[in-house]
Chain A
């Protein structure tokens, strides 16, 4: 069975602090994809990043960075020098792609509410 755990329900930081959102996943498949989505207070869901299980390279995009570690089944998301506009709910998600998969299922974690105070 596939599962995504975001243990941090809520995080509050003050602007300019760095913050890391944790994501731990469970799957027995060897081929899988990991995602992060952002849901700002306006409610829409926005894609941030996708990683496949064969690419453990960390990624950096501006103030955002992602650390993928298969050894600990984690795909953590770090925001450097946080800003008020980063306040949102962040979701981690998993899909599996081993033989027989339709590649249609996506498993989300319960989300982490990040609040950045000015």
Chain B
């Protein structure tokens, strides 16, 4: 089944404790993105990747890191999480450019930073 998977689905952590949210797609898609969703703010793009080893910033990259060492994986790294990073995070992938084609979204990761 074609899908985007994220792990973990739920995470509660403390300020400053490094964490990684994994994202994997099995559709051989070139483009992948991370978004955060906050009440009243909609979805905001954090980072995106056009291919292996090629990434670029979105609207809200501060406090986040990404890497794309393999085509199928695009982990989101929070080196020192803070409470303002409490949010719902979505990973997405698309065969063509993010801004052109249909994106397939993962189920979301709800992160709480205390």
What is A's interface to B at a CB cutoff of 8 Å? Answer: 6, 9, 33, 37, 43-47, 50, 91, 93, 95-97, 101-111
* B residues in contact with A109, CB < 8 Å: 42
A91 to B92, CA, bound (A): 15
Q: Residue-by-residue, is B25-36 near A (CB-CB < 8 Å gives 1, otherwise 0)?
A: 000000101010
Q: Quick one: closest A residue to B47, CB to CB?
A: A104
What is B's interface to A at a CB cutoff of 8 Å? Answer: 31, 33, 35, 40-45, 48-50, 56, 58-59, 88, 90, 92, 96-105, 107-108
A102 to B99, CA, bound (A): 9
A33 and B100 contact, CB distance less than 8 A: yes
A43 to B108, CA, bound (A): 8
Q: Quick one: closest A residue to B38, CB to CB?
A: A110
A77 to B107, CA, bound (A): 25
